[in-house]
Amino acid sequence: PRQPGGEATLAQRIDPAREPGLSPEQRLLMAQVERAQRQRALQRRLRGRNALLALGIGAVALGIYGYTFYSVSQEGFLDELEQEAEAARARA
Position 28 pLDDT exceeds 80: yes
Average of per-residue pLDDT across 13-18: 72
Taken in order 13, 15, 18, 19, the sign of the CA dihedral is positive
What pLDDT is attached to residue 4? 58
Q: What residues does each domain of the chain span?
A: 24-91
Position 89 pLDDT exceeds 80: yes
- Least confident interval from 14-18, 19-23, 64-68, 78-82: 14-18
What pLDDT is attached to residue 61? 98
Alpha helix (H) residue ranges in the chain: 24-74, 77-91
> How many degrees, rounded to 5, is the angle at CA 73 between CA 68 and CA 77?
110
> Each residue of 51-83: pLDDT tens digit?
999 999 999 999 999 999 888 877 776 778 888
CB contact at 8 A, 47 and 36: no
What pLDDT is attached to residue 20? 78
